[in-house]
Amino acid sequence: MSGNSASCRPEVSHPAAVTTKTDGSGGDAGPAVDITLADASWSELVPSYHMKVTAAVLAALVAAPEVSSEGVSGGISGEMPALEVSVRLTDDAEVRVLNRTYRGKDKATNILSFPSCAADDLPVAVDHAAKGGPPVLMGDLVLASGVLAREAEAMGKTPEDHLGHLVVHGVLHLLGYDHMDDVEAERMEALEVRVLGTLGIGNPYEGSRMA
């Protein structure tokens, strides 16, 4: 990611891997998605991973209520501000280390979200970006291939659809959404279902919630 982007924390460091960047707007402005392939098994698990991840990130940013200093209203309309999301597709072992280090849980999980900015600071950064300021580093998403594959099989989902759901879920975390109580969870789940509908993915919830 570019060094002059607005960020509220040091980036999480990872082992080197192949990274590609997609400008979702088709130009210099607008959202960008950095995808790092750190585990080759993703290419077999979800051959279209690059397209699926990019589409899920952009759909979540477009459909989520606007983040601005004037409050939450509708969806982000007009030209999207320069927002950057980093997505790392890795294995269970790396996610387990990160989960233990940053959350105190010594196990692999399906996805980890590392927001770059506190929710209270994000609106101002987004406003600046929309007015021509530096791009906003929304944060990092890290996904575990083995966990995703096992969950998809257990739930009778395709890996592609489960990947789309996890990425949307993760982006909403970067935007400040959470599911610490029932009210927050219901709000976040309803938005996820709406975003996934734009991607042709059905309601993934059947009485259970994301970890």
Q: List Cα–Cα distances, 201 to 86, 192, 195, 196, in angstroms.
A: 22, 10, 9, 5
Residue 173 annotated as binding? yes
Residues in Cβ contact with 145 at an 8 Å cutoff, skipping those fewer than 6 apart? 39, 41, 42, 45, 89, 90, 91, 92
- The label of the residue with tokens 């982006």 reads 171
How is the beta sheet containing 18-23 ordered, strand by strand?
18-23, 32-37, 83-90, 136-144, 111-115
Residue of 182, 67, 60, 174 whose CA lies nearest to 112: 174
**Cβ-contact 137, 116 below 8 angstroms:** yes
49-63 and 182-198 helices cross at what angle (nearest 10)?
A: 120
Distance of CA 162 to the CA centre of its chain: 13
Residue 50 annotated as binding? no
**Cα–Cα distance between 90 and 35 in angstroms, integer?**
11
CA dihedral sign of residues 183, 186, 191, 192: positive
**Feature table: binding site for Zn(2+):** 169, 173, 179
**Feature table: binding site:** 169, 173, 179
